[in-house]
Chains A and B, each alone.
Chain A
């Protein structure tokens, strides 16, 4: 089975801190995604990457950046965390060449105080 691993299940940070959320997948997938999930707003795409060192903005990229130096790892960076970035962050991956089924990690609940 595909495994998508997010480094932290819960994270508490202070306003203004730089925050790194890490995601690793073990199935050699080309595509990786970062979503945030908020009550009443559903899942919204922040950034995605379809290859190493490639990235595309999603619907809500403001205040975030990403890094994909290796195929298996996709990092989400909050340059200066703010309270409105308190949310559940979900990483996902899919293959371009094999039916593109989307697999999710278990999520990181980030609280910014």
Chain B
């Protein structure tokens, strides 16, 4: 089945800095999504992005399906951006496979 690798595993930033998180896939991209898990454990869907680029405020994401990777950009980071960021894609019709996550800590 599909393998999902995320990098970096950990990231520490000063408030206001920008960052790029990466997700690599071993197989073709189908229903790629990015999630943020806040410190209370809630997983929030940030983007559904099987291809192309999307932006939502300070966050944007780009997926290059032909090269099997996706990038999540966080600009002007804030302490509320702290948490774990996951990417996931489907293997088969319904089964989502998650990466191991990037743990982000934004310092005030």
B75 contacts chain A at the CB level, 8 A cutoff = no
- The total of chain A residues at the interface (CB under 8 A) is 22
In B43-91, the 8 Å CB interface with A consists of 43-45, 48, 86, 88, 90
Interface of A is mostly: strand
Task: Select B43's contact among A45, A58, A90, beta carbons within 8 Å.
Answer: A90
Give the residue name and chain of the B residue nearest to A90 (CB). Answer: B43
Q: Which residues of B contact A70 (CB under 8 A)?
A: none
CB contacts under 8 Å to A, within B13-42, are: 31, 33, 35, 40-42
Question: How far apart sit A33 and B35, CA to CA, in the bound complex (Å)?
Answer: 16
Assess the B99–A101 pair: CB atoms within 8 A: no
In the complex, the answer to whether B99 meets A99 with C-beta atoms within 8 Å is no
A-B contact count (CB 8 A): 51
Contact of A100 among B48, B86, B100 (CB under 8 A): B48
Q: Which of A43, A50, A88, A100 contacts B98 (CB 8 A)?
A: A43
Q: How far is the CA of A44 from the CA of B88 in the complex (A)?
A: 12
Distance, CA A31 to CA B44, complexed state (A): 18
- How many angstroms from the CA of A31 to the CA of B31 in the assembled complex? 14
Given A106-B42, A107-B42, A48:B94 Cβ within 8 A = yes
Contact B94 A42 (CB under 8 A): no
Spell out B's residues near A (CB within 8 Å). 31, 33, 35, 40-45, 48, 86, 88, 90, 93-96, 98-101
Q: Which residues of A contact B (CB under 8 A)?
A: 31, 33, 42-43, 45, 48, 50, 56, 58, 88, 90, 92, 94, 99-104, 106-107, 109
Nearest 5 interchain pairs by C-beta: A104-B43, A101-B48, A43-B98, A107-B41, A42-B100
